[in-house]
Structures are given as C-alpha cells and as structure tokens.
Amino acid sequence: MNARPETAYHYHVIRRALEVIDAAPAPGPSLEELANSLGMSPAHLQRVFSRWVGVSPKRYQQFLTLDHAKHLLRDRFTTLATADEVGLSGSGRLHDLFLKWEAMSPGEFARGGAGLTIRYGWFDSPFGQALIMGTDKGICGMAFAAETGPNTAMADMTSRWPAAEFVEDPEVLAPWARSAFGADGMAQLHLIGAPFQIKVWEALLQIPSGHVTTYSEIAQSIGNPKAVRAVGTAVGRNPISWLIPCHRALRKSGGLGGYHWGLPVKRAMLAWESADLEDKARA
C-alpha cells in the first residue's frame, strides 16, 4: 500500500518548514512569512499543521528548533532505572498498544534469517512512506524512505536478514501498520538481533512517548555503563524504528546524535510526540 499523496505532502510541508525555521534568525518566521516561503496561504498552512499535530505552526516551531533536544533533556528526561516506579513506562501510547514482543534466539539470528518468511509492504505514516516488515510473530522491521528513498530503504532492510525469504503482502501487515500510527489495536513485535542489541532495544521500549534519555543512561540501565559506544551502535541498528523508539535517545550534551533514516525524520518524530503530549495535557 503506497502512501496517499496528501500524507507524503504533509510530511514534506513539515520538512520544508523545518529547513526554513532553522535558517531564520530568532524568534523565527511569522505564520505569514513561513507560509509565503512554502508557497502556501497562511490559512492553508495553519490547517495542515493543526490537522497533523493538533497545535498551531508557531507552537510547533518551538518543537522543531535546534535546541529542542536540550529542553527535552532538561524537562522530560527519563531515568530508565526508575521509570516503572514513577509510572512513566505506562504513560505513552506505545505502552498501551505494543505490550508484547518476542526475541529471536541467538542461534536463529546467527543464521541470517534462514527459514524465515518476512512479509513487507509500504504504508502511510506521519513521516512519509514507511516500509513495514513482519514475520508470523510480529513486526520485525520498519524503515522510513523520506530521506533515503524507497530503494535504499528496501535494500537496507533486506540486507539485515540475507537468508530470509521476502514476500510482498501488505494486507497481512495492515492491521499492525494502522496500530503503529495511531489507530486502536495491538501489534506484536518480533525482535531479531544479537543478545546485546536486544537488551538495548528492550531498554528503548521503556522510554515513554514525549520523553527522552541518553545513550549513557541506556548503558547504565542494562548493567554495562562503560558500553556507551556499543549502545550507540545498537541503537543505530534498531530495525523497528518508531515503535522501538531509538529517536528518543540523545547525546548527554543535548545533541540529537545520529538517525539511520535521516535527522529530519528524527526531529519530526520528537516534535510530533512533544506536540501530541502537550495537546493531551490540555485536553
């Protein structure tokens, strides 16, 4: 299922707006200036933004600025060791919908997916086209093609399990895909990786929507505080982007760090979650 034109259009509006905002001196462009730079009317831009994230373009700008990550670290930092105790791990949509995941055994992972049938399809997402892959146990892969292009995204994902059989079958994956991007329901995740990677990905699943943590905090939470660099590598190799929220891992300095599918996608994800959290708090 290919992304609907309006979904891709909305993502690219956000992406282009991000570029304009980054290039503008503080306090940023007005609604009229932003709309003019995008070739849109102010009313149209206001509608697109409000429908997509539930807040005005001016408010959304605050979540797209380069120092937003520093504000997140200051105000919404999650200490993973105590997240359960303070109830944070149950506060995000992810934990309401994706409570079940199963990890592949180390032996199965070492065989490169031999004997696995992995189905795939292209779906709408708030961040452009999403490639979703799944086994009979759950979603095992999610990639975003807005920055890399669909061919690169597909080649990247299939190379992770070179011995698997890949079958295009979006209908089977559609219910999980709908749940992934906001519909009601539950989706299962099938974590396919080395044992250390899976420990890191399980730690990422404890970060609530709208909150962030650091690579060093993740290393601490898995009992290996000196493995910050290895944690960063495992975060970067996360095959189920968005659902295993590697976009919520930041550098201790407040820098965004890297993102496999492009930093504009990571920043859009963080902004989307921040705006969504604020909108729910006002409701």
Sequential DSSP letters for 28-93: ---HHHHHHHTT--HHHHHHHHHHHHSS-HHHHHHHHSTTHHHHHHHHSB--GGGTTTTTGGGSSH
Could you tell me whether strands 117-123 and 130-135 are parallel, antiparallel, or unpaired per DSSP bridges? antiparallel
Query: Any catalytic annotation for residue 246?
Result: yes
Q: From the candidates 55, 146, 219, 246, which is the catalytic residue?
A: 246
Q: CA 248, CA 262: separation in Å to the nearest integer?
A: 14
Could you tell me whether strands 249-250 and 213-214 are parallel, antiparallel, or unpaired per DSSP bridges? parallel
Helices 42-53 and 57-64 cross at an angle (nearest 10°) of 60
3-state secondary structure of 213: strand
What residues are labeled active site?
A: 246
